[in-house]
Amino acid sequence: MFETGDYVVYGHVGICQVKGVTTMDMEGIPRDRLYYVLQPGDKNGSTVYTPVDSMKQVLRPVMTKQEAEQLIEEIPAIDTLTIDNDKQRETMYKECLKSCSSKELVRVIKTIYERRRTRMACGKKATAMDERYIKLAEDNLYSELSLLLDIPKNEMTAYISEKIQRS
């Protein structure tokens, strides 16, 4: 069980801080069921309640600083997704995002960077779907890395590129 003050990654919401554990006093909800009170990192003022025992959404601890640095070192070796059909591509992007796995987020980002490069070489633009999913993947991954490495989120792309080029 997470403690008050812990940082967690919660489903599509991303980085949240645990503000406490409570019960809900609402019609139709068992009064003895415990809920985490989460405050999303990027959305000041909002609060998310999720059951402590829920299996519907991924709720995991944030990586350690060492794990974050290791992930960045491994980026060149992480495979891209191999998908030919646009409908399958979107389904795969959604599954990767839903997993809340940092490596899966890297796979989405690498795949879309590669698709962008290939499409631009053919004189085509990036697709709206790719742009939407790369924004989501980068936002989720970079928020976590930013918290751990104490680097502003908007500088994360440059930081990662520099680390990869050095190794």
The number of residues making up the chain comes to 167
Full residue range of the structural domain in which residue 145 is found: 65-166
* Predicted confidence (pLDDT) per residue in 64-75, tens digit: 999 999 999 999
Same domain, 160 and 100: yes
Q: What is the pLDDT of residues 23-48, one digit of tens each?
A: 988 888 788 899 999 999 876 779 99
The pLDDT of residue 39 is 94
**82 conformational bin, left if phi > 0, alpha if psi -120 to 50, beta if neither:** beta
- Predicted confidence (pLDDT) per residue in 130-152, tens digit: 999 999 999 999 999 999 999 99
Residues 97 and 115 in one domain: yes
12 with 39, same domain? yes
Task: Tell me if 162 is assigned to some domain.
Answer: yes
The CATH number covering residue 112 comes to: 1.20.58
Question: Does 157 reside within a domain?
Answer: yes
Looking at the structure, do residues 28 and 90 belong to the same domain, yes or no?
Answer: no
Do 50 and 106 sit in the same domain of this protein?
Answer: no
pLDDT at 43: 64
Tell me how many domains the chain contains: 2
In the chain the first and final C-alpha atoms are separated, in Å, by 37
7-18 tens-digit pLDDT: 999 988 889 999
Query: Average per-residue pLDDT in the chain?
Result: 92
